[in-house]
Amino acid sequence: MKDRTDIRLALPSKGRMESEALDFLKACGLDVFKPNPRQYQARIPAVPGLTVLFQRPGDIVVGVRQGSLDFGISGTDLIEEKKGGDGDVFILHDSLGFGTCSLVMAVPEGWEGVRSVADLARKAPGMPKEGKPLRVATKYSVLTARFLREKKVEPFELIASEGTLEVAPAIGYADMISDLVSTGTTLRDNHLLPLKNGEIIRSQACLIANRAALKARPEVLEAAHTLLEYIEAYLRAQEAYIVFANMRGKSQQEIAAKIFDQTDLGGLQGPTVCEVFTRAGGKQEWFAVNIVVRKEKIVRAVQQLRAIGGSGVVVSPVTYIFEEEPARFVRMREELGK
C-alpha cells in the first residue's frame, strides 16, 4: 500500500453507537453523506477532503494507532484497552456526551461476604478450588488485569468470551465477570452483584487521532481544528438559550446594573441593551435586553428578570457558541509542540 494522501475519519459501524455518532455529527453541523448504502465510504461536506469510513469500534482504535486511520470515534473503554503505551493514539475530545457505560466487576449474588473489591482481594488467595485461581470472564483483558493487580486481587485467570458474559458464572464458564453495564438490569436478572469500588472505567464516545499524522500532515491538523470548532461550539450551545426581554428603566446603564445584580443573568460579556419604542410614544421608558442564559436556569432567570422589571421575555434556540480558539485544539498544539 502506498502512502495515503486522503484524510480519514472512522465511525462505529452497526448498532446504537453508529446511529448516535451520526446523530451527534449531524447536530454539530457535520452531516455525513453516504452516497450509496452498500459502500463503506461517506463524506462530510463541512470538512472538505475528509473521507468517512465505517468500522467496528475496536478496529477503529487499532487503525488510528497503526496509522491506517487519521481520526476515529470510539469509546473510552476500547481506547484504553487497545491504545497501547506508545502514545500513537491522541485523544482530541474525551467527552462527546453519548455512548456512556461502565466496565465493572460483578460476582454471583450468593457469594458470602463478597460485596466490595476489598472483600474480593481478601478472599481471592483462598478461593481457588483444587489449585485453580479465580477465573474472570471478560472482553477487556488489559484493563481488567491492570485493575486486579492494582487492587491486589490475586491470583486470577482471565477467560475471553464473545458474548453473554453474564451467564458465565451460572454455567461454570468462569467464577465472576468484568463486563460493561448501563442500567444494571441485566446483572440483576442473572443474580450478579456489581462490587463496591468495582468500576474499572467509565466510558463515553471520544474523538481520537493518530499523533504522527497530526504532526506531519498540516491538512490533518487543519481538519482537527475544523472538527473541534464545530464540536466545541455545538456542545457549549447545547446548554444555552438566547433571551430577548423588555425592561422598564431610566437608562441603559441602569438596566445593565440591575441585571448584574442577579446571579443567573449576565451574558458572556454583559447584556446588550437597546431602546424600545412604545405606542405611547413620549419619553422612552422601555429597553430591549439580549442575554445568553443556561438552559437549566431558564425559569429562574426569567423570574429574576421579572423581579427587576422585565417582561415580554422571548427565548430562542442557540445552534453554536464559539469562544476563542477551541480549548482542546489549543491544548493539542501545545502537547504536539506546534
> What residues from 181 to 210 belong to the interface with a second copy (CB under 8 A)?
183-185, 189-190
Per-residue cell: 108 = 454471583
Alpha-helical regions (H) of 99-217? 117-123, 141-150, 185-189, 211-216
Q: Is residue 68 a contact residue for a second copy (CB under 8 A)?
A: yes
Asked if 50 and 43 touch (Cβ cutoff 8 Å), the reply is yes
First to last CA, the chain: 29
Q: Compute φ and ψ for 102, nearest 5 degrees.
A: -130, 145
Q: Is residue 43 a contact residue for a second copy (CB under 8 A)?
A: no
Q: Of 269, 283, 334, 337, which one interacts with a second copy (CB under 8 A)?
A: 269
Contact region for a second copy (CB under 8 A) — 17-25, 144-152, 209-217, 236-244?
A: 236-244
Q: Is residue 317 a contact residue for a second copy (CB under 8 A)?
A: yes
Query: CB 160 → a second copy: shortest distance, Å?
Result: 8
Contact region for a second copy (CB under 8 A) — 19-27, 83-91, 213-221, 306-314?
A: 306-314
Residues 98-137 that bind a second copy (CB under 8 A): 129
Q: Is residue 290 a contact residue for a second copy (CB under 8 A)?
A: yes
Q: Of 29, 128, 133, 194, which one interacts with a second copy (CB under 8 A)?
A: 29
How far CA 154 is from CA of 123, 137, 150, 278, in Å, comes to 9, 15, 10, 78
How far apart are alpha carbons 302 and 309 in whole angstroms? 11
How far CA 238 is from CA of 49, 91, 102, 255, in Å, comes to 27, 22, 24, 28
Q: Hey, is 68 helix, strand or coil?
A: coil
Q: Is residue 19 a contact residue for a second copy (CB under 8 A)?
A: no
Nearer to a second copy, 10 or 151 (CB): 10
Q: Is residue 252 a contact residue for a second copy (CB under 8 A)?
A: yes
Q: Is residue 27 a contact residue for a second copy (CB under 8 A)?
A: no
Q: Is residue 157 a contact residue for a second copy (CB under 8 A)?
A: no
